[in-house]
Structure 1
Amino acid sequence: MRLKAFFIGFFFLSILPGCGGDSGGQAAVPVDGASQSEAQPVGLASLLKEDCSLEKFRAGLGALAAGDVRLLERSLEDAIAGTEAEVGRQTVEMQRLSADAGLGSEARALRDARKARSRELVLLKNKRLIVARNNAASSK
């Protein structure tokens, strides 16, 4: 029952913007009256995807306009905050499960999910660092 409640909660958190999963998987098309900076460009969405390597990220960052870089930085900050919150929740849940039942299948699945989210968090932080270095280099 706890596993079912956990996955239901995780599902609802994953559909919220910035809380888990992909923060920008779809290409946004500007709506009438919306400026280009409010809509997420196709290149920006591909840079935010989880499967975008750091090499592709560096290469794609050079092709973005200054406004898009600021939008990318904000999107990365939101994704990092959501991922940190999710890793924290999973850590607490793991501690509760390990105290209750040892390493059952539920605890192993949660441990594996936490490791994956932790790897995603490291990747997001590395991308944020690349953006910060790019901003510092371009401001000189």
Structure 2
Amino acid sequence: MRLKALFIGFFFLSILPGCGGDSGGQAAVPVDEVSQSEAQPAGLASLLKADCSLEKFRAGLGALAAGDLRLLERSLDEAIAGTAAEVGRQTVEMQRLSADAGLGSEARALRDARKERSRELVLLKNKRLIVARNNAASSK
């Protein structure tokens, strides 16, 4: 299950168009567990992109329908799980490399990649919190 979440997270982060694009279009990116009728709108996909700032993310939420918000929330949960699993794997690998060979170039590259993924994880969690607050405010 974690491996599947990891691949879904990489899927979203690797093929998504630029952040803040036109959310009015109906172009869709299919998701493995989602039927074709629940295909992901392009505007939703752009909000999941790693380089989408929190300000652009908040602004983009206003244009999404309630169903899209639920899909965004689920997608963020999957991306968080995948990123957390990747950070954990990189941490274990970094500890192994540190114990084996000191801090060589491979270990430094892995450390830098782990730091980047950790920052990405924090950003995803912040986006998830924004969606949860938005859902709570709209349900009142």
Partners of 2:95 and 2:49 in 1: CA distance: 30
Compute the TM-score of the two structures, normalised by the length of structure 1. 0.77
User: Which consecutive residues of structure 2, in runs of 5 or more, have no partner in the other structure?
Assistant: none
Q: 1:126 offset after TM fit, Å?
A: 0.1
Q: 1:103 to 1:60 in 2, by over 3 A?
A: same
Q: Which runs of 4+ in 1 moved over 2 A?
A: 1-27, 29-37
Give ranges in structure 1 of 5+ residues lacking alignment: none
Q: 1:80 to 1:69 in 2, by over 3 A?
A: same
Superposed CA RMSD: 7.5
After superposition, the C-alpha distances for 1:12-46 in whole angstroms (9 at most, x for unaligned) are: 99899999999999951689999775111111011
For 2:19 and 2:86, the matched residues in 1 are separated by 7
Q: Quick check: 1:28–1:41 contact (8 Å CA) kept in 2?
A: yes
Identity of paired residues, percent?
A: 93
Q: Residues 83 and 3 (structure 1 numbering): CA distance in 2 closer, same or farther, change over 3 Å?
A: closer
Compute the TM-score of the two structures, normalised by the length of structure 2: 0.77
Post-superposition Cα deviations, 1:77-127, rounded to whole Å, max 9, x if no partner, equal 000000000000000000000000110000000000000000000000000
